[in-house]
Structure 1
C-alpha cells in the first residue's frame, strides 16, 4: 500500500482511545484528515515531523461552554484554547442572544468561521430562559430553524425550561423537533431534577446533561441514558464529586465541560485540560481521562470522525512531552500547525443596550418586622440557600446593609423598566459596591453593595462604559472593565483582559472578605432556573415554588 500525505508524524506514542493505551507508531495526514496510522509498505510525505518519543493525543473538546463567560471574543478565546491543546468546543451563545437575538447568533457564527479552531454553535433553546425576567430578545422555533443550514451549528443548546418540556409547550417542542430533524444533538439542563423528570427529557430526545452535582445524580442520569458532561468551571466545581460515579461499564457516557469559566481562570489553570488534570490527580488513568476529553465528547454530540487518531478522523492532535502537565509542544488543527497561523483579531458587534437609570429611591427596601427572605451564597456553586433570618433595619423599618448582609439589585437594562431589590449574605461586602452586566441569563444590571449611594454609582459607571464589570470602593473610586460586545465580551487581548480582571479582583479583595470569584458568583444570582432563591428585575424568585415572593417572612 502506498500512502501519500502532506505530513508524516513519526517517533511518537499515539493514544489509541478505543483501547485506551499508547502505541508507538506513525501518523499520516493529508489535508485536514488522518489517512493512515502505522507504517505503510510505501509512504511518501511532503513534510515530516519527528516527535522524538513524545505523546500524540487528540485535541481536547469542551463539551459545553459559554464563550461570553470568559469575557473574551470568540477569536481571542480560540487562540487561548489552541495554545492549551483544546481544538474544539460546543458553545451556547445564550448570553449574547439574550441581549440581541438572532443577529447575535449570526455574529458568533461569523466569528467562529474566522479561526482554525472548531466552534460548534448550539442554538439557544430558552431565550428568555423564563418569563420571570425581562430580556433584550426572544427567540422562537421559527427564528432558530434557518440556522440549521449552517455547517457550524451543532444542535439545540441546553433546554433549561423544564416546565415547557413537561407541559408540552408547542414552541419548545418545535425547537426540539427541528434539531432532531436536522440530525443534531439536543442538550439538557437538569438542575435539581428528579430521575422521573430526567425521563421527561429523555422522552423528547434530550440526551446530555451538565447539571449533575454529585456522584448519585450522575450515576442515576447515566443509567437513564444521559451523557454526563462533567462540569468544572470557575464557580461550578462539580468534578471531584462526580468522578466516583464513573466505572468500567459507564465510562463512555462521561466527558468534560467548563460551562462558565473566566479568562483569569483559563489563563492560570486552563480549560478542559484542567479537567483532565483534576481527574488524573484524583487517580484516574491518563488514557481514560484523555478519552473522556476527546472521543467521548465527540460521541456525545454524534460526531463520528472526531476525537481519535486513526484513518478517517479529522487531524486535530496535540504533541505533549509530559502527561502530568499536558503542556503542548505543538498543536495541529485540521491538518495545520497553529504556530504557523497569525492571530485573528476580533471584530466588534455594534449594539448599545444600556438604557438603565437607577436612583437611590429605587433601592429602598421596606420591612415589616425585620425578619426577611435572604439569598445565601454557596461558595464555588451557582445555586443558593433560601434563608429566613433577622436582618438589620433603621427606625423607618428599611433594610440597612452591614458586613454580613448586603443589598442586591437587578435592573432591567434594555428599556429601563425597573429593578428588583433583595438581601444577600455571603459576599462579605464591607463597603462600596460590585456590579456587572454579565448576569445570567438575561444580562440585566446586577449590583451588590454596602450602600445605596455606591450601588447607584456602580450603575452609572456601567451605563457610561456600555456594559462590563465595575468595582466602586469605599471612597467612591471606580475601577472598570468595559465589555463592548453586548456588555458581555471585549475586543481586548487576553493579556489586557486578564490584567484588568486581576485589578478588579484586587479591588474586590479590599471590599470583600471571601476567597471565591465575586463577579462570577454575582452573575448567577439573577438566574431563576437554578435553585433556590434568586432575584430578577421583577423581584425575589423562589425556585422551589416557582414563583415570586415578597421580602418579608412573617
Structure 2
C-alpha cells in the first residue's frame, strides 16, 4: 500500500488488534531470521502487511481468512540480490511466473536492458507491469548507460543529469552495478551518480571482479557498499574484511557458489551474516529444472552451511545489504507479507507462496492467471538498421593473398576471454575464418538508428563447423551480435532478426535452422516460461549440431559485448581490450605471398 495518514492509522490499529486482520496463518513453524530461532507462531496480515506474529487469536474477526499451515515452516520470501531478468528472455510477467512459485518474491535490478532499448519511457511501462506482478522489483538506477568502455551505442544514455531526476523517484533504492573501472577511471557520469546518491542518502551497489589491494581500496573510497562478483573465496574474504556486503552468485553459466561459500565454511563462519545470494543471469530452462533462489539455499546447505544461515543469506542478509529490511526480508510486524510454506528447512521445498498478503502460488505454479500488459510501440519497435550483405562480414585487408596473424578472443568460460594469436589465410584481400583452427568471425551492429556502426573481429571457443548464430538480446547495449564461419550465413542471420523484430537465430547452408522470437524490445518475450525453455533447448541444440560444445552457446555469445569481463570484448565501436579500456586492431601482422 502507498503510505498515507489514513492507512497508517489503520495499520497501527490492526497491529494493536483493534481492527481485525484480513488473513491469519495458524499452525506454522516460524523461521525467525532475525534471531536464528524456529518456534511455533501464527501470523496476522492486514491488507499486504504483517501486523502480528505469535499468538494472534485476538486478531481474528468475522471475515478474517484463516490459512492452516499444517506445521509447515514459515519462511520470508526470498530475495535475488542482483539480477538482469531480461537475460532470461522472459518479460517481467513471464519471469514472475517462473520464479515466484520457487519462493522468489523480490529482486534487486536496474532493468537496464529495457532502458538500453527503450529509455525512461519504456522503463516506466515496465514499472507499471511490475505493479501488477506478484514479484517485487527494488530498482537501482544504473550508474550510467551504456556500461561499456569505450562507450558503445544504446537508444538512451543514462547520465549524471538523469540521476539528478530519477534518484528522487519512489521506485529508486540506490545506484546499480557501479563497476570498478568507471570509478578508478574517474568517469564523470559515474562519479556524478555517486555524488547525487550521497545527497539522497542512497546506497551504491558495486561490481568489482578480481579487485584486490590498492585498486579495491580506491574503489571502496567511492562509497560502494556491496559487490556481487568475486572469482574466488579469498577475494570474498578480502572484500568483506574491508567492510563490504558480499553477494555470492550462482547463475546459469557462472557457478561460483561452491568456491565462494568457502569464505564462510572454511575461513570464518562469522562472515555469513553479511553474505547473501544472487543469480545475475538465468535461463528459463535452468529455473524450471533446478529452481531459483530456493536452489541456492539447497546448494549452500549441501556445501555445509546450516539451514538457518542459508535461509538468512536468501532473505534478511540481502534486505539489510540493500537497506530494504524495513520492507522485506523477515516475517515481522510492519513488513510486507511475503511468506513461504516450506516442507523441511533441510530439503527446502517451497509448497506455497504468499506475496503482498495473498496466496499466489502452490505446488510450483501460480494459483491464478497472470497476463502480460498490452505492449506499446515503445517496447515493440522494429530494429532500426539496414539489411546486410555478406560483404559486411568479410574482413578486408591491404594484401591480396598471403597470411594474417590475428588476435582471436578465446572464450574460457562465459566471463573470461583470453588472447589467442592465430595465423589465417588471406584470399582475394579477405582474411579467412578457419573452422579447423577454431576461428570464427564476430560482429556487432548498432540497431537503434543512431549511427549505423558495424564492428568485425575474430573469436574462438565456439567450434562451429559451419553456419552462424545471432541475437538482438546482448547485454550491456543489446545491439545485434552475430558470429559465424560463413559471411553469407551471418548476413542471413542478421537480416532475419531485422525482418522479425528481434530474437535469436541459428543459420546454416543459407537457411534458418531455428528462430526464437523476442518481440518485447528485441530482448524478451511474454511467452510462458515452459515455452521459452522449449525454444531455448531447440535453438541450443541447433548450435550444437553446428559443432558448438558450450552448454549455452547463444548466452556465451551474447556476453561478448560486456567490457567489464576480462580480457576482451566486442561492441559496435570495435573489438575492445578490457584492460586498456580501448579498442584494438585484431590484425597483428600481414604477410603477403
- 1:85/1:327 contact within 8 Å kept: no
The one of 314, 330, 349 aligned to 1:293: 314
CA drift at 1:495: 2.8
Alignment-derived partner of residue 405 in structure 1: 439
Change (3 A) 1:266 1:40: closer
Change (3 A) 1:517 1:41: closer
User: CA–CA distance in 2 between the matches of 1:226 and 1:195?
Assistant: 14
User: CA–CA distance in 1 between the matches of 2:548 and 2:181?
Assistant: 38
Alpha-carbon deviations, 1:346-374, whole Å to 9, x = none?
Answer: 33224323314322222222567432211
Structure 1 residue 65 corresponds to structure 2 residue 98:
no
User: CA–CA distance in 2 between the matches of 1:498 and 1:213?
Assistant: 28
Pairwise mapping of residues 91-106 of structure 1 onto structure 2 (< 5 A)? Answer: 91-106=109-124
Alignment-derived partner of residue 383 in structure 2: 353
Alignment-derived partner of residue 489 in structure 2: 454
CA drift at 1:42: 4.0
Of residues 390-399 and 237-246 in structure 1, the stretch that sits farther from structure 2 once superposed is 390-399
Q: Can you give the 5+ residue segments of structure 1 that lack an aligned partner in the other structure?
A: none
Of residues 144-153 and 51-60 in structure 1, the stretch that sits farther from structure 2 once superposed is 144-153
Alpha-carbon deviations, 1:377-420, whole Å to 9, x = none?
Answer: 123x3221122233455475622331422211111222362321
* Alignment: residue pair count: 552
User: CA–CA distance in 1 between the matches of 2:544 and 2:347?
Assistant: 30
Paired residue secondary structure (1:103): helix
Alignment-derived partner of residue 283 in structure 1: 304
What TM-score does the superposition give when structure 1 sets the normalisation length?
Answer: 0.94
CA drift at 1:331: 0.8
Alpha-carbon deviations, 1:77-131, whole Å to 9, x = none?
Answer: 1222211111000112111212222222222212112223211121122212133
Of residues 6-15 and 220-229 in structure 1, the stretch that sits farther from structure 2 once superposed is 6-15
The one of 129, 132, 135 aligned to 2:154: 135
CA drift at 1:284: 1.4
Paired residue secondary structure (1:456): helix
User: CA–CA distance in 2 between the matches of 1:329 and 1:2?
Assistant: 29
Structure 1 residue 146 corresponds to structure 2 residue 158:
no
What TM-score does the superposition give when structure 2 sets the normalisation length?
Answer: 0.88
Of residues 35-44 and 297-306 in structure 1, the stretch that sits farther from structure 2 once superposed is 35-44
- For the aligned residue pairs, the C-alpha RMSD in angstroms reads 2.2
Paired residue secondary structure (1:440): coil
User: CA–CA distance in 1 between the matches of 2:141 and 2:382?
Assistant: 23
- 2:42/2:56 contact within 8 Å kept: no
Change (3 A) 1:274 1:40: closer
Change (3 A) 1:394 1:240: farther
CA drift at 1:43: 4.6
Alignment-derived partner of residue 498 in structure 1: 533
Pairwise mapping of residues 153-192 of structure 1 onto structure 2 (< 5 A)? Answer: 153-160=172-179, 162-192=180-210
User: CA–CA distance in 1 between the matches of 2:101 and 2:410?
Assistant: 38
Pairwise mapping of residues 338-487 of structure 1 onto structure 2 (< 5 A)? Answer: 338-339=360-361, 341-348=368-375, 349-366=379-396, 369-379=403-413, 381-394=414-427, 396=429, 398-403=431-436, 404-415=438-449, 417-474=452-509, 476-487=511-522
Change (3 A) 1:356 1:254: farther
